[in-house]
Amino acid sequence: MELKKVTEKILKPANGIAILLLLILAELLSVLVLIVGIANEETFGGLLILLSLLMMTLFSIMFAGLRTVRPNEALVLTLFGKYHGTINKAGFFYVNPFSVGFNPAYEEYKEEAARRNRTAAAKGQEQTVAVSPVKKTISLKVQTLDNGCQKVNDLLGNPIIIGAVVIWRVADPTVAVFSVENYKTYLSIQTDSTIRNTARLYPYDVFDENEDGASGEKTLRSSALEIAETMQIDLQEKVKDAGLIIEDVRITQLSYAEEIAAAMLQRQQAVAIIAARQKIVDGAVGMVKMAVDKLNEDEVVLLDEERKAAMVSNLLVVLCGNKDAQPIVNSGSIY
């Protein structure tokens, strides 16, 4: 079932400073009426006293309509349960005093604070949460979400530890607060889901490489930037209906899980040793061939096939060995 979307309504509230001055003057006027009523209590003073009390009550209620909106913030207002409008510019304003700011994160924090306080009271402790740090305004600033690391399986089934940071902001505050229960929680859950599903599509690393030393397959280790861009596109598609914009996604943590980290390290070392040996052998064979060809070309020494094979064997041992060769001087005939 498709959800009914709320169309944003931009309010144009009155200037808060002007209304504040008028309310102060009105309160002073009501006090003056009260004084006059007390002074003329025997005649029409009772009516003036009642009028002043009504004026004080009315003007006190009107003070609740004064609202402050900071730069890069928006205030979404509801009136008797219905959407009233949105203030998306900074300043000091006056709105309907019965309208209230709506922020799902604020409401959720109040419930969590009340739950913690009830738990503390049941244990005979003092209240742990008294003042809410969450504001009723919706921040339009660029924010960072770091959900920590999670363990997933890559394409080859190897358990890995992966974590990513998401740079995001609220593009449409009205849609953000009315389309989902809590847009911050919604973003957090969708981020975890996107990271997990994307990591399953790629191997952590590959061990069969091309001749140039580069693998043609994308991996989490070698193609982290490209895979992070894929995560950004997928996550943006999931949260676009919540009025959010994903500015960037970057992988911050990537490693094998502890249970296979040692084995994978040995495997990587073995692959590196084999690759290094291949390079050494290829280079040694080229050097031996060059030496034999040079000897034959300059006719420095004439070797039969048997002696040539012996020299090649000795050169390969010297060039491919892990330790430095110990030279032996032959003072007699090589035959």
pLDDT tens figures, 242-275:
899 999 999 998 888 777 656 666 666 666 666 7
Q: Domain count of the chain? A: 3
Q: How far is CA 231 from the centre of its chain?
A: 11
- Would you say residue 207 lies in a domain? yes
Contact (CB, 8 A) for 145 and 191? yes
DSSP secondary structure letters along 39-76 = HTIIIIIHHHHHHHHHHHHHHHHHGGGEEEE-TTEEEE
Sheet of 14-15, strand order:
14-15, 91-94, 66-69
Whole-model pTM over 0.75: no
Residue 95: per-residue pLDDT? 93
Residue 36 belongs to a domain: yes
Same domain, 229 and 152: yes
pLDDT for the residue 66: 93
pLDDT score of 232: 94
| End-of-domain residue from the set 241, 256, 271 | 256
Which of 208, 229, 256 is at the close of a domain? 256
For residue 195, how many C-alpha atoms fall within 13 Å in the half-sphere facing its CB? 27
Do residue 77 and residue 171 come from a single domain? no
Do 29 and 97 reside in the same domain of the chain? yes
Containing structural domain, residue 22? 14-102
Per-residue confidence (pLDDT) for residue 211, from 0 to 100: 43
* Cα–Cα dist 108/38, whole Å: 49
Last residue of a domain, one of 208, 231, 256: 256
Instruction: Please identify every stretch of the chain with a pLDDT value under 50, giving residue numbers as ranges.
Output: 1, 131, 210-213
pLDDT on residue 25: 94
Is 208 domain-assigned? yes
Question: Residue 277 forms beta bridges with which residues?
Answer: none
Residues 156 and 202 in one domain: yes
> What integer pLDDT is reported at residue 102 of this predicted model?
86
In this predicted structure, what is the pLDDT of residue 256? 80
Q: What is the pLDDT, as a whole number, of residue 311? A: 67
The DSSP 8-state label assigned to residue 10 in this structure reads: B
pLDDT at 212: 43
Tell me what pLDDT residue 134 has: 58
Task: Give yes or no: residues 51 and 155 share one domain.
Answer: no
Can you tell me the distance from the alpha carbon of 308 to that of 312, in angstroms, rounded to the nearest whole number? 6
